[in-house]
C-alpha cells in the first residue's frame, strides 16, 4: 500500500509500486526478515532473546531507510537502533533507564528537561563527582542529549510538538492525565505523527482507583507483594535497590522495540502503557503462580527458597555464603563434598527425609540443623572450595568494591569508561546485553543541563540562530540561555 514504509520493502521500490494490493502481504513477508515471519506465525521466543531479536529486526529495516533520518551525533556507531529517534520526557529512574537502553543500542535520544533544574536526580546528592554531578544522574543518562524546554510555555510546547513530529519513540512518566492536560498526550502527538510509539510509565496505570496517585518504587514493592516475601519472618524488607523501577524501565524498552517492529512493517504507531505496580505483580513469578493455581499464599523465608532445599545462606566461621542445590544430583554432590569435613553428611542424600527435593522441603528444618554446624566449622574459603570442586552452585556475598573488581565481572566488560565534558575518567556500568552484529556502545556521557538545546533544534527542526533566538525571547527555554 501507499503507506507501507519503503525500508521494509528494500531498495526495489518499483516492484512495490507495481504490486497489487492483494499481493502486498506476500511481498512484505518475502522481503522481511525471519523474525517478522515468525511473529506472523505466532512463534514464541523467550523474553530476553525476544528483546534482542526485536532490536535486531528494527536494525534490519532501519539501516535501509532514508539517510536524512540518521542521527548526526558525533562519533555514533551503527548500533541496532541507529536512525531511530527517541524523545525522552521522563525523569528519575524507570523512564531514564528505558531511554538509556535505547541509546546504548544506537538510538538518538533527546532528553527534555525543565529549564534551570532538569531531571530531579541531578539534585540527588551526595554522592557526587566534583561536588556538582550527581552519581545517581550519571548512572542513568548516558547516550542522551539534553534540551531545556519550558513545557508550560506556549512556545516551549510548540517546539516539543515539533520534535515529536520527527521522533519515532516518545517516553513519558508524567502523573496520569498530566500530559493530556498539557496537550502533550498520545492523541495530540498521534495527530502530528501517526507512526509515533508513545511509551507511558506510571505508578499504577491509567485506569482503576489508584490511577492518579503518585507512585514510587517503595510503594510498588509493598502494594505489589514483593515486601511480603522479602526479609525474615519477623519483618518485611524492601529490596536494596529500586528493582521495580529498573524492571519497569527494561520492560518499557523491550515493548518500545516490539512496537517499532510493527511500526516499521505497517507505518502505524501505538500507545504503550506500563506501570510499577503491574511490573511488580508480573515479577512475582512463581509466587504469583502458586497463588493463582492452588491458592497458596507466599511466606517470608529470609534467604531461603520456598520450593528448593537447600537454597539459602549459610554462616561460616568468618562470614556468610550462598549455596543452592537445585536438584537431587547437586544435593548428592554437596553431601559427598561436605563429608570430607563431616562424615555424617556422606549418606545424607540417601536419608528418606532428604532423598528428594519434595522431602527436603517438608523436612527443611531438620536438614538445615544438620548442615548449619558443618558450614560454621569451616571458613568461607574452605566452604566455597568444597562446593566448587563438587560443582555445586555457590557464591560469596560481595560488596560493591568486590563486585566491580571480580574477574568474571571484568571479563564480561561490566565496567566501562564514559566520556564527559566536565569529568575525567568517568566509569559506569557496562552493557548487560551483548549483540554479535550490532554492538551496544557508549558514544557520549551524561549531558550537562541544556547542553544540546541549540544543536538538536537545528538538526531536528532546521531552525537557524534567528528563530532559536526568537523562541528564547518568547520564554521557550525559561530564563536559561545556551
State how far the alpha carbon of 76 is from the alpha carbons of 7, 71, 443, in Å: 21, 8, 6
What totals of helices (H) and strands (E) does the chain contain, helices first?
22, 13
Known catalytic membership, residue 421: no
Q: Which residues, other chains included, contact 391 with Cβ-Cβ below 8 Å and sequence gap of 6+?
A: 330, 333
Q: Please give the order of strands across the beta sheet that includes 169-172.
A: 144-148, 108-113, 85-88, 169-172, 197-202, 270-275
Task: Write out the three cell numbers for 267.
Answer: 507505518
d(CA 375, CA 369): 11
Instruction: For residue 404, give the C-alpha cell.
Output: 566491580
Q: Is 233 helix (H, G, I), strand (E, B) or coil?
A: coil
As a whole number of angstroms, the distance between CA 235 and CA 78 comes to 49
Element (H, E) at 272: strand 270-275
Catalytic residue among 88, 119, 168, 245: 245
Pairing of strands 85-88, 108-113: parallel
Residues in the chain: 482
Instruction: DSSP letter for 83, please.
Output: T
Q: CA-CA distances (angstroms) from residue 9 to 5, 12, 365?
A: 7, 7, 63
Phi, psi torsion values for 205, nearest 5 degrees: 95, 170
User: How far apart (Å, rounded) are the C-alpha atoms in residues 129 and 253?
Assistant: 28
Q: Which three cell numbers stand for residue 150?
A: 519550558
Q: Which residues are catalytic?
A: 245
Amino acid at each position: 500500500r501507499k503507506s507501507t514504509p519503503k525500508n521494509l520493502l528494500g531498495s526495489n521500490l518499483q516492484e512495490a509500486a507495481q504490486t497489487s494490493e492483494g499481493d502486498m502481504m506476500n511481498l512484505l513477508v518475502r522481503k522481511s526478515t525471519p523474525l517478522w515471519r515468525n511473529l506472523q506465525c505466532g512463534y514464541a521466543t523467550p523474553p530476553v532473546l525476544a528483546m534482542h531479536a526485536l532490536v535486531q529486526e528494527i536494525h534490519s529495516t532501519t539501516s535501509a531507510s532514508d539517510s536524512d533520518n540518521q542521527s548526526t551525533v558525533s562519533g555514533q556507531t551503527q548500533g541496532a537502533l541507529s536512525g531511530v529517534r527517541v524523545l525522552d520526557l521522563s525523569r528519575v529512574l524507570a523512564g531514564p533507564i528505558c531511554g538509556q537502553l535505547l541509546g546504548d543500542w544506537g538510538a538518538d535520544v533527546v532528553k527534555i528537561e525543565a529549564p534551570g533544574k532538569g531531571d530531579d536526580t541531578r539534585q540527588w546528592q551526595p554522592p557526587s563527582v566534583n561536588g556538582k554531578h550527581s552519581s545517581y544522574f550519571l548512572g542513568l543518562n548516558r547516550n542522551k542529549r539534553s534540551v531545556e524546554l519550558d513545557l508550560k510555555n506556549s512556545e516551549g510546547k510548540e517546539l516539543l510538538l515539533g520534535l515529536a513530529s520527527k521522533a519515532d519513540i516518545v517516553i513519558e512518566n508524567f502523573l496520569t492525565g498530566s500530559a493530556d492536560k498539557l496537550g502533550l498526550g498520545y492523541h495530540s502527538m498521534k495527530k502530528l505523527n501517526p507512526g509515533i510509539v508513545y511509551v507511558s510509565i506510571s505508578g499504577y496505570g491509567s485506569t482503576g482507583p489508584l490511577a492518579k496517585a503518585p507512585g514510587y518504587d517503595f510503594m510498588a514493592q509493598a502494594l505489589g507483594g514483593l515486601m511480603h516475601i522479602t526479609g525474615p519472618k519477623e519483618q518485611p524488607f524492601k529490596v536494596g535497590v529500586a528493582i521495580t523501577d529498573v524492571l519497569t524501565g527494561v520492560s518499557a524498552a523491550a515493548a518500545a522495540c516490539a512496537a517499532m517492529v510493527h511500526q516499521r512493517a505497517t507505518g502505524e504507531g501505538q500507545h504503550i502503557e506500563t506501570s510499577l505496580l503491574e511490573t511488580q505483580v508480573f515479577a512475582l513469578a512463581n509466587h504469583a503462580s502458586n497463588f493463582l493455581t492452588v491458592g497458596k499464599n507466599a511466606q517470608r523465608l529470609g534467604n531461603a527458597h520456598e520450593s528448593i532445599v537447600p537454597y539459602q545462606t549459610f554462616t561460616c566461621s568468618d562470614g556468610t555464603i550462598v549455596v543452592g542445590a537445585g536438584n537431587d544430583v547437586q544435593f548428592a554432590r554437596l553431601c559427598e563434598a561436605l563429608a570430607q569435613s563431616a562424615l555424617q553428611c556422606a549418606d545424607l542424600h540417601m536419608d528418606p527425609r532428604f532423598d528428594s527435593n519434595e522431602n527436603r522441603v517438608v523436612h527443611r528444618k531438620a536438614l538445615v540443623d544438620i548442615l548449619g554446624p558443618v558450614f560454621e566449622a569451616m571458613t568461607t574459603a574452605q566452604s566455597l572450595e568444597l562446593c566448587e570442586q563438587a560443582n555445586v552452585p555457590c557464591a560469596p556475598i560481595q560488596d560493591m568494591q568486590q563486585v566491580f573488581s571480580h574477574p568474571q565481572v571484568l571479563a564480561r566488560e561490566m565496567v566501562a569508561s564514559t566520556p564527559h565534558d566536565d569529568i575525567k575518567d568517568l566509569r559506569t556500568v557496562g552493557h548487560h546485553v551483548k549483540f554479535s552484529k550490532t554492538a551496544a556502545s557508549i558514544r557520549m556521557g551524561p549531558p550537562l543541563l541544556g547542553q544540546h538545546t541549540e544543536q538538536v533544534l537545528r538538526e531536528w527542526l532546521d531552525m537557524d540562530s534567528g528563530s532559536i533566538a526568537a523562541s528564547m525571547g518568547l520564554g521557550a527555554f525559561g530564563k536559561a540561555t545556551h
